[in-house]
Every structure is written in C-alpha cells, then in structure tokens.
Amino acid sequence: MPSLPASSGVTVTVSSQPDVVVLRRYVLALLIDVGEESRQHAARVVTVFTEVALAAGAVPVLVHLERTGHGTCLRIEMDNPHPLPLTVSPEDQRVLDQLTTGHGVSHRPDGALIWAEVALHPLDARTRTWRAEKPEPPERP
C-alpha cells in the first residue's frame, strides 16, 4: 500500500524547526490515499503540536502517527517528558478545536502524552494518484 496502512504507526523525532517542515511533508506523503482537506488538517495539527513543543524548549519531540478506525482516523501523539506543561495559544487552540475530532492531554508520573485525532475522508476517485511505495520516515542529518 502506498500510504500508512490502517492499524500501523510510525514515530518520528523532531529537534528543530527544519524537522517540523520535513515532518509536515512526511504526513502529507503518508496520507496520499485520503482527501486533500484531511491531509492538510492532519499536517496542520502535527505542525501545531511540534511548534508548541519547540517553542517551550521541549526537545527532542517524539511524534507518533497511527491510523485507527480501519484507516478513517489519524491519531497523533506527542510525548512530553518535561515537567512544565506546554502552553497553547488561543489561535492554536482554535485550530485544534476545528480540525480534530478530539484532543487532550493524558498526564503520567514522567510527563504527559498530548494527543489529537483527525478524521480521514476518502480521496475522490476522479483525482486519485498513486505512489509507487510508502515514503520512508524522515532521517535527521
């Protein structure tokens, strides 16, 4: 399958702003089999998560992407092992409220797991394009 299959996941480490750009492109490539709006929503949510963490100095950021619900949802999880909570701006909060089907924070003794879920709508068959293979996770230089 040319995209991230249902019930599979990948974890990516983000340490700097250039990594955020690479991760955004990677998310778009992973979701090649869903509609453009869903792809853009998922990429925007991943960008918000990672930029908030980087702004707080919570590096490296571990972002886990997993398709759930038979491929109809992308679950995005970000591990925050740092003791300080991450602060989300009102604008970023609106983005999360509008583009996700749910989001939140699960607190643990060693930090927190920040998560969101984005609905993945089917690709219109008239505009379907195919990739020869699943993209590889981005590598750090």
66 occurs within a structural domain: yes
Provide the whole-model pTM. 0.79
CB neighbours of 123 closer than 8 A, spacing ≥ 6?
Answer: 33, 34, 35
Measured CA to CA, the distance from residue 69 to residue 60 in angstroms comes to 29
β partners of residue 13: 62
Please indicate, yes or no, if residue 2 is contained in any of the structural domains.
Answer: no
Domains in the chain: how many in total? Answer: 1
Residue 128 is assigned to a structural domain of this protein? no
| Residue 24 pLDDT exceeds 60 | yes
Q: Residue 79 belongs to a domain with what CATH number?
A: 3.30.565.10
Residue 95 lies in a domain: yes
Local confidence band at 2 (pLDDT 50, 70, 90 cut-offs): very low
Residue 61 lies in a domain: yes
Does 3 map to a domain? no
23, 138 Cβ separation under 8 angstroms:
yes
Which residue segment(s) compose the domain that 44 sits in?
9-104+113-122
Evaluate if residue 118 carries a pLDDT over 90: yes
pLDDT at 131: 43
Indicate whether 70 belongs to any domain. Answer: yes
Q: Cα(118)–Cα(38) distance, rounded to whole angstroms?
A: 7
Confidence of residue 46 (pLDDT cuts 50, 70, 90): very high
pLDDT at residue number 123? 75
